[in-house]
Each structure stands twice: as structure tokens, then as C-alpha cells.
Structure 1
Amino acid sequence: MSNLNLSLIGRNLYSWDKYNGYDPETNAGGNSDILRGVDFGNVPIPRSYQLTLTANF
């Protein structure tokens, strides 16, 4: 074995704002600022993990 690479990647692990809903980027009113941040049955942003192992022989 000449090379071994291990990597761990995470996305959306923590939200730094104080928003209590599912998705802080949601906007139920299209371009309107009136309904910005209102969750109408939106699915939460998924938290994801990826583990990669690469080996060269």
C-alpha cells in the first residue's frame, strides 16, 4: 500500500442563528419580505455525514 487517505465531511451540522423553525432560508411568500422565515410544512434541511477511505496499492 503506497497511499491511504481518510476524510470525514459534514454538512448542515449546526445552525448559528436563533431561528426555531425547520429552515431559516424558507420564504413562503415568494419575493415578498412579509412571509420570510414562515415554515408552511417545509421539510427540515438534512444534516449529512460522509466518510471516505481511499487506498492506493
Structure 2
Amino acid sequence: MDELREFLKQLDAEFLLLIHSQLERYTGFSGSASEAVLTSSGQVFLFVDSRYHLQADA
């Protein structure tokens, strides 16, 4: 995630939207129905469907 935070700073963007294939690369989360938002303040919001709640909580 540090690599993504640095990329966000370079873009001078407010947020990055990560799709499921990017999530697996950067976090190891493998749920196919998932997205995340990384904000410039460092917050991460993970969006998954109900099949992945247990994996997301881990």
C-alpha cells in the first residue's frame, strides 16, 4: 500500500479506485467482487459483496 500512497501523491489526486485484480496484487485479497478506495488522507475503504465478508474482516 505504501507504493500506492506514493503514486497517489505523485498524481496529486484525492483518491485511487482499485479493482479486484489490483487488490489481490497489493493486498492479497482475492475476492472477485471487490473494489477499494484509497484516499489522500490514507484511509482505505473496501467494498465487497456478502460472499467475501469473512475474508474482508481478516
TM-score range, shorter chain: under 0.3
Q: Report which of the two has the higher share of helix.
A: 2
Q: Taking structure 2 as the reference length, what is the TM-score of the superposition? A: 0.18
Q: Which has the higher contact order (CA 8 A, sep 6+)?
A: 1
Q: Taking structure 1 as the reference length, what is the TM-score of the superposition? A: 0.18
